[in-house]
Amino acid sequence: MASGRLQQKFHLQTSNMKGICEMTNDIKSFSLNDCSKGNQGYYRVLLQLFGFLGHGKSSFINTCKYVLEDQEYNMYADVSNTFGGNTTARITYTLTKTLMLVDNRGCSKLDDYETGEIFAQLANLLPVDKEVEWSRGFELTERIIKAEKLVKSSDFIFPIFVFSVKKGLQPQEVPGIQQLLEFARDVTEIFPVVVLTHKTHGDVNDMERAFKNMGVEWLISLENFTPEDHIRTKGRHEGVLKFFCEVIKDVQFRLERMGDPDEQREQRKLKVLRFISDREVRNKLKEVAIEMRKKEQEIELRREEELRKRLMQIISSSPPRSSSLSCIVL
């Protein structure tokens, strides 16, 4: 009886390990050529990581490499607390022959200029492994045009938004993040997958609900492996593998519905250029409105000053009032 239970337990453990091995092999051997309609002109998948500075994008890359390579923990992506993040370029990290992680430069605030840069990166309109410098005005448009020969239409774009539970999510941040996710969906035609890092450092359930209310279709919550904490556990290891299996399913689904790679890239470019153009029009209108308010204030101040001067003239030109005295003559 005891022997039977031992055999059953051993079989269960073997089955679990086989599942992990099979998932790892499936991920490593995945090729766009194996999709139902072939590769459709695409040759690799760029898993585009984007988000705020210091939310764990680089640590997530190290975690993914650690799990898939199943070797010693290495710091492939530099993790730094300087200014809340250390990535200032679009850096690529090869996972398999088909899958490649891209650590895009994070943003510190969701203004129109930083989001424009993020959209250009997500749309793969800027070269990888190059420094990313935030630019204003139509400078981004010029950089996109200059980079046309350096980017590949054959790259399949898959967006992944990384957000730290430890950092917290403030109500006033929700509209900006939702707009960012929705535009990323419009550009890539895939609603970004959300990766919540530092899941034990806050109310992860509340944050998951918040992102689902923004329209997020699926997300994963995890604790990244770090130099200080990289003990392998089945749950953490298996969680990352399941994440990649789901990513592959999403890629296969979209690839069946994708058009010509060059045409898709042109569509992405037009959407981003339209965003830049609309942004500059909005900013110009704001500048005009500010200038008009400034002139109105100046006119009002001049009127007040003229009125004050007139009052002073009236006061100065009026004869002084004499006090009447009553005299009694005896």
Q: State residue 321's pLDDT score.
A: 61
Q: Look up the pTM and report it.
A: 0.79
Give per-residue pLDDT as tens, 73-88. Answer: 888 887 654 344 455 6
Task: Using the predicted structure, report yes or no on whether residue 232 has a pLDDT greater than 90.
Answer: no
Q: State residue 14's pLDDT score.
A: 40
Between CA 160 and CA 162 the distance in angstroms is: 6
Query: Environment class of residue 239 by beta-carbon count within 10 Å: exposed (0-12), middle (13-18) or buried (19+)?
Result: middle
Query: Environment class of residue 102 by beta-carbon count within 10 Å: exposed (0-12), middle (13-18) or buried (19+)?
Result: buried
Question: Mean pLDDT highest for which of 93-102, 291-300, 305-314?
Answer: 93-102
> Other CB atoms closer than 10 Å to residue 198's CB: what's the count?
19
What pairs with residue 160 in β-bridges?
49, 193
Q: State residue 8's pLDDT score.
A: 44
Overall average pLDDT of the 31-45 stretch: 91
Between CA 207 and CA 245 the distance in angstroms is: 24
Q: State residue 12's pLDDT score.
A: 40
* Residues 110-141 as b or e (16 or more Cβ within 10 Å = b): eeebbbbbbbbbbbbbbbbeeebeeeeeeebb
What pairs with residue 99 in β-bridges?
45
Overall average pLDDT of the 36-48 stretch: 92
Between CA 244 and CA 237 the distance in angstroms is: 11
Query: Hey, where are the domains in the chain?
Result: 40-278
Q: State residue 224's pLDDT score.
A: 92
Give per-residue pLDDT as tens, 301-311. Answer: 888 888 888 88
Task: Using the predicted structure, report yes or no on whether residue 1 has a pLDDT greater than 70.
Answer: no
Confidence of residue 211 (pLDDT cuts 50, 70, 90): very high
The architecture (CATH level 2) of 40-278 comes to 3-Layer(aba) Sandwich (3.40)
CA distances from 118 to 53, 65, 78, 112, 123 (A): 12, 24, 20, 10, 9
Between CA 286 and CA 288 the distance in angstroms is: 5
> Other CB atoms closer than 10 Å to residue 43's CB: what's the count?
15
